[in-house]
């Protein structure tokens, strides 16, 4: 389903990444066309977790300007290693309060906001850095035991508190669908996020924009686009199959011994 990952990641060539990227972009555009949407309504966020630094340099040469990473420590090391290049960083995974200071320093976007404690920690550190941060509120649309993301019925109350944090620029909602090949169940998650966004858009406080819907990954981004995604987060379809089990990344969400495909 996904291109294989080269044995030596550092050998991943610019041409290979460029070709994978173009193939994914073409699928995104086709999904937009099928849904009667314009291609520039959907942003493709390449997800580079577990991809080695030399391959990231190739990725930049292939035209990638923003990387999505789900672990702060890994993202931070990569941001330092690539500080000479014009790239920005989107943190898409759960954040602990004590790591907020790093995110405030190097990230331009954070897609997994699900607690006021983290919002407060980020805002405080952003103030110190004199920076602002685009944020997405993560919603648990699958009802799975996954620890991350707010239950849908808590999002309205949560969003009402966000104007307090002047350095956080709220852009929209983010979700991970249930991990299954069953299209109907996956699309139910995406539909729920869009319905929630459409409802909250009318009641959100001033300054809280809920224009963006970040949903869809390598295995399900076409369905997400059909359901209204404005950002799709795609790793394996660009960088090849991940060698590590996804249970490593989302404890409790995926069967620990299986990979995404």
Ligand X SMILES: *Cc1c(COP(=O)(O)O)cnc(C)c1O
Interacting residue ranges for ligand X, rule: CB under 6 A: 47, 49, 70, 92-93, 176, 217-219, 233-237, 249, 260
Identify which of residues 92 and 137 has a Cβ nearer to ligand X in the complex.
Answer: 92
**240 and 259 in contact (C-beta within 8 Å)?**
no
Identify which of residues 95 and 204 has a Cβ nearer to ligand X in the complex.
Answer: 95
Min separation Cβ 71 and ligand X, Å: 9
Query: What is the C-alpha to C-alpha distance for residues 163 and 147, in angstroms, rounded to an integer?
Result: 25
Min separation Cβ 113 and ligand X, Å: 13
Q: Could you tell me which of 135, 231, 152, 232 has the C-alpha nearest to residue 192?
A: 152
Identify which of residues 173 and 204 has a Cβ nearer to ligand X in the complex.
Answer: 173
Q: Could you tell me which of 46, 105, 110, 40 has the C-alpha nearest to residue 79?
A: 105
Query: What is the C-alpha to C-alpha distance for residues 196 and 223, in angstroms, rounded to an integer?
Result: 18
* CA-CA-CA-CA torsion sign (173, 177, 178, 182): positive
Identify which of residues 192 and 204 has a Cβ nearer to ligand X in the complex.
Answer: 192
**249 and 15 in contact (C-beta within 8 Å)?**
no
Min separation Cβ 86 and ligand X, Å: 23
Min separation Cβ 206 and ligand X, Å: 29
Identify which of residues 4 and 36 has a Cβ nearer to ligand X in the complex.
Answer: 4
Query: What is the C-alpha to C-alpha distance for residues 164 and 93, in angstroms, rounded to an integer?
Result: 23
Residue nearest ligand X, CB atom distance: 235
Min separation Cβ 199 and ligand X, Å: 24
């Amino acid at each position: 389903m996904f291109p294989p990952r080269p044995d030596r990641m550092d050998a991943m060539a610019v041409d290979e990444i460029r070709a994978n990227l173009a193939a994914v972009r073409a699928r995104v555009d086709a999904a937009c066309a099928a849904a009667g949407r314009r291609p520039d309504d959907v942003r493709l966020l390449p997800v580079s977790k577990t991809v080695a630094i030399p391959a990231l340099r190739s990725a930049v040469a292939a035209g990638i300007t923003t990387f999505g990473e789900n672990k702060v420590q890994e993202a931070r090391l990569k941001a330092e290693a690539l500080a000479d290049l014009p790239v920005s960083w989107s943190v898409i995974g759960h954040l602990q309060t004590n790591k907020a200071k790093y995110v405030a320093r190097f990230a331009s976007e954070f897609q997994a906001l699900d607690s006021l404690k983290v919002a407060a920690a980020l805002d405080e550190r952003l103030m110190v850095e004199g920076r602002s941060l685009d944020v997405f509120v993560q919603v648990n649309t699958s009802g799975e035991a996954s620890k991350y993301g707010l239950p849908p019925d808590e999002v309205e109350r949560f969003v009402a508190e966000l104007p307090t944090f002047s350095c956080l620029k709220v852009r929209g909602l983010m979700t991970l669908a249930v991990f299954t090949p069953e299209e109907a169940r996956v699309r139910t998650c995406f539909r729920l996020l869009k319905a929630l966004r459409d409802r909250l858009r009318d009641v959100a406080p001033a300054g809280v924009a809920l224009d963006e819907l970040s949903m869809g990954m390598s295995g399900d981004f076409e369905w997400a686009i059909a359901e209204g995604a404005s950002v799709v987060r795609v790793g394996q379809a660009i960088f090849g199959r991940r060698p590590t089990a996804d249970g490593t990344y989302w404890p409790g969400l995926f069967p620990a011994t299986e990979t995404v495909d």
